[in-house]
Amino acid sequence: MTAGESYLIKQISVFSENRPGRLAAIAAALKEEEINILAFSIAEADGFGVVRALVDKPDKAYAKLSARGFNVAFTDVIAVQMRDEPGGLFEVATLLGTAGINIEYAYAYHSRDAAVLIIRVDRAADAAKVIKEMGGKLLSTITIQ
Amino acid sequence: MGPKRPRDQAPLPRDYDQGIIGMFWNEVIETLPPDALEALQLTRLKETVHRAMKVGFYKKAFREAGITQDSIKSLADVEKLPFTRKQDLRDGYPFGFFAVPLPEVNRIHTTSGTTGKPTVVGYTKNDLDSWADLIARNMTMVGVRKGDVFQNMVNYGMFTGGLGFHYGAEKMGCTVIPSATGNTKRQIEMIHDFGVNVIHCTPSYAMHLSEVAEETDFSMDSLKIGLFGAEPWSETMRRELERRLDVTAFDSYGLSELFGPGVAFECPERNGLHIWHDAYLTEIIDPASGERLGPGERGELVVTPLTKEAMPLIRYRTGDVTKLLEDRCACGRGTKIARITGRSDDMLVIRGINVFPSQIEHVILGLPEVGNQFMVYVDRVNHLDEMLIAVEMNRESFHGELTDLTRTQAKVAKSLRDALDLRTTVKLVEPGSLPRFEGKAKRVVDRRGVV
């Protein structure tokens, strides 16, 4: 594992039709396996969407959701730690901009310990390496999963 | 024996027993020279008209058209006779079209009526024999032999497909498994445990069977021949079924009003279907004008059955669209019809454009990004027809990105637009979420109401 790769986090991406009860069905499957959701977002298009989640047990989540008939895929994302105070996002965004990293999509979560920006970028391992070199703080795979 | 197959002909379906070429159930009748065939047809047409005169509907229709016993002097005279439509048969419910007293009717079937009362069809003992004989011809033609193990996976109730094939296969000496429909895992288990090598079902059920088989531990290696019918299906579907089931697939055509399955069938050339001319006098007409069309012209198939006793029919409008193929077939049998491109009662008119569900199927099966199941919903929104096609995402084509989905949706819409010359709305749904059909697939839901 290279330095960059140890910061690649497996996001669960689930194809979901836009109809009542689908999110509940996904959540129920995760609950049954006692999988904790750290962060979560929904991307919506015409009549369907992709449910994205960062969970503590991604492999277990993948297996469970697939068994339930869901169309699931893993996506590599990176988690950048932010200062939990005004200007925290600005610092991180500036860093990414300076590093020339283009964000495909992003979402954030906040816990007692940290504020975290999750980003999906092109060539994630390379991006992680650059962020580290520029002094950014990344959550490692081990910390989260 | 029939004519030998020239060496330079297109290759036969793989694993095919070369010995089947020139195999006939009834070689004399299947290869009658044109003169002898026409003489037989004329004799039988006269008999049929005579029988029809016992039916109230025809008595009246013949009187109005000035038809008497002597009106038929040549085969061309059939054009003087009135058409029979499905609605006429419905109006005759239940026994209005029987030409024999009820005690001589040995069996009754009904057609799967989509609206209102079903259509009743009756058979004398001779009719049942004639029908089984036609099935035996078809099965022999495609290489089924005495001793083959045949699983008949269609409805055994009032639908003619079950008992029709059943008695034909028994007649030719197959080991028949009347498995009917339902419990697909059990069907697969029987294919495996009983060493089934020939199956009969709808093409959509065959597709379902192959999907379920992928989830079980039972191999279906024994299968050799698949007989698929009761709904129109595409060449793409044939390739897909042959790949998935490892069978050689043959198209079967029939309708209950003309006995049931077995009216026409593909031979190993698989380039059109042999319709049995000794039993069915065939015309192709322009469905709008009723005018007869020439060989090679596509139109509605009109059939006058020539041997039916219990329920003779005159110029029955099948609603099926096909054409007569001019080329002689290498197998030595008579003139073929092209594969049915749709039934006119299946045909949708969307904003003035004719659409056959088989066209949509052809597009869907050609796109690896989506699954094989689909549904068509037709609505009228602000006086405009709107067609929505729901199709399943292929599991392997989703890599976690929204663009995987939007791109696929756009591609399906574009492919449909190219094929149908019509804008449609495509709804991408989750794998496994659309209904699977075990009998005749009901993929079209027309919600426009009666216009």
Contacts of B428 in chain A (CB under 8 A): 47-48
Question: CB distance from A58 to chain B under 8 Å?
Answer: no
Residues B134 and B280 in one domain: yes
Which residues does B105 contact at the CB level (< 8 Å), separation at least 6? B98, B122, B123, B124, B310
**How many structural domains is chain B composed of?**
2
Question: CB distance from A45 to chain B under 8 Å?
Answer: yes
Least CB–CB distance from B405: residue in A45, A69, A74 = A45
**Cβ contact A13:B374 at 8 Å:** no
Residues B1 and B119 in one domain: yes
Which residues does B9 contact at the CB level (< 8 Å), separation at least 6? B330
Which ranges in B291-401 belong to alpha helices (H)?
357-365
**Cβ contact A82:A116 at 8 Å:** yes
In terms of C-beta density within 10 A (0-12 exposed, 13-18 middle, 19 or more buried), how is residue B129 classed? Answer: middle
Residues B317 and B399 in one domain: no
Report which DSSP code applies to B182: S
| Count helices and strands in chain A by DSSP H and E runs | 5, 6
Of these ranges, B214-218, B253-257, B352-356, the one predicted with the greatest mean pLDDT is: B253-257
Q: Residue B94, preceding bond cis, omega within 30 degrees?
A: yes
Contacts of A71 in chain B (CB under 8 A): 393, 395, 398, 430-431
The Cβ of residue B10 has, within 10 Å, a number of other Cβ atoms equal to: 8
Residues B358 and B422 in one domain: yes
Residues B320 and B410 in one domain: no
Chosen CATH of A9-75 out of 3.90.550.10, 3.40.190.10, 3.50.50.60, 3.30.2130.10: 3.30.2130.10
Residues B302 and B380 in one domain: no
B393: closest CA of chain A, how far (Å)? 9
Which residues does B59 contact at the CB level (< 8 Å), separation at least 6? B53
Task: Select from B132, B22, B83 the least CA-distant residue to B304.
Answer: B83
**Cβ contact B339:B375 at 8 Å:** no
Q: Parallel, antiparallel, or unpaired for β A37-44 and B273-275?
A: unpaired
Q: What is the pLDDT of residue A110?
A: 85
**Cβ contact A92:A136 at 8 Å:** yes
Residues B146 and B120 in one domain: yes
Residues B328 and B377 in one domain: no
Q: Which residue has the higher pLDDT, B59 or B232?
A: B59
The DSSP string of B53-99 is TTSHHHHHHHHHHT--GGG-SSGGGGGGSPPB-HHHHHHTTTTTT--
Residues B335 and B411 in one domain: no
The CATH class of the A78-144 domain is alpha beta
Question: CB distance from A15 to chain B under 8 Å?
Answer: yes
Residues B66 and B199 in one domain: yes
For residues A101-113, one letter each, b for 16 or more C-beta atoms within 10 angstroms of the residue's C-beta and e for the rest, the string is beeebbbbbeeee
Residue B404's domain comprises: 348-446
Residues B324 and B403 in one domain: no
pLDDT in tens, A57-103: 999 999 999 999 999 999 999 999 998 889 989 999 999 899 889 99
- Amino acid B250 reads F
Residues B317 and B393 in one domain: no
Contacts of B370 in chain A (CB under 8 A): none
**Cβ contact B177:B152 at 8 Å:** yes
Q: Which long-range contacts (CB under 8 A, 24 or more apart) does B285-288 make?
A: B287/B317, B287/B321, B287/B344
Q: Which residue has the higher pLDDT, B16 or A27?
A: A27
Q: Which residue has the higher pLDDT, B383 or B226?
A: B226
A76: closest CA of chain B, how far (Å)? 10
Confidence of residue B2 (pLDDT cuts 50, 70, 90): very low
Question: What number is the ipTM of this complex?
Answer: 0.86
Contacts of A15 in chain B (CB under 8 A): 393, 398, 405, 430
pLDDT in tens, B48-99: 999 999 999 999 999 999 999 899 999 999 999 999 998 899 899 999 999 9
Residues 416-445 of B with CB under 8 A from A: 427-433
The enclosing domain of B321 has a CATH number of 3.40.50.12780
- CA-to-CA dists, residue B300 to B84, B119, B204, B218, angstroms: 13, 20, 24, 43
> Would residue B451 count as lying in a domain?
no
**Considering B280, B314, B343, which residue would you say is the last residue of a domain?**
B343
The enclosing domain of B389 has a CATH number of 3.30.300.30
The DSSP string of B104-151 is G--EEEE---SSSSPPEEEE-HHHHHHHHHHHHHHHHHTT--TT-EEE
**Considering B343, B372, B407, which residue would you say is the last residue of a domain?**
B343
Element (DSSP H or E) covering residue A19: none
Dihedral class, residue B350 (left if φ above 0, else alpha if ψ from -120 to 50, else beta): beta
Radius of gyration of chain B (CA): 23
Confidence of residue B19 (pLDDT cuts 50, 70, 90): low
- Report d(CA A141, CA A56) in Å as an integer: 10
Report which DSSP code applies to A7: G
- Amino acid B277 reads H
Least CB–CB distance from A69: residue in B393, B398, B432 = B432
Task: Select from A78, A92, A103 the least CA-distant residue to A3.
Answer: A78
- Amino acid B64 reads E
**Cβ contact B356:B341 at 8 Å:** yes
Domain boundaries, chain A: 9-75, 78-144
- CA-to-CA dists, residue B189 to B34, B193, B218, angstroms: 47, 6, 6
Domain A9-75 matches domain A78-144 at the CATH topology level = no
> Would residue B291 count as lying in a domain?
yes
**Considering B291, B313, B343, which residue would you say is the last residue of a domain?**
B343
pLDDT in tens, B280-339: 999 999 988 899 999 999 999 999 999 999 999 999 999 888 999 988 999 999 999 999
Of these ranges, A8-12, B68-72, B223-227, the one predicted with the greatest mean pLDDT is: B223-227
Q: What is the pLDDT of residue B13?
A: 53
Q: What are residue B392's DSSP bridge partners? A: B429
Q: How far apart are the first and last CA of chain B?
A: 56
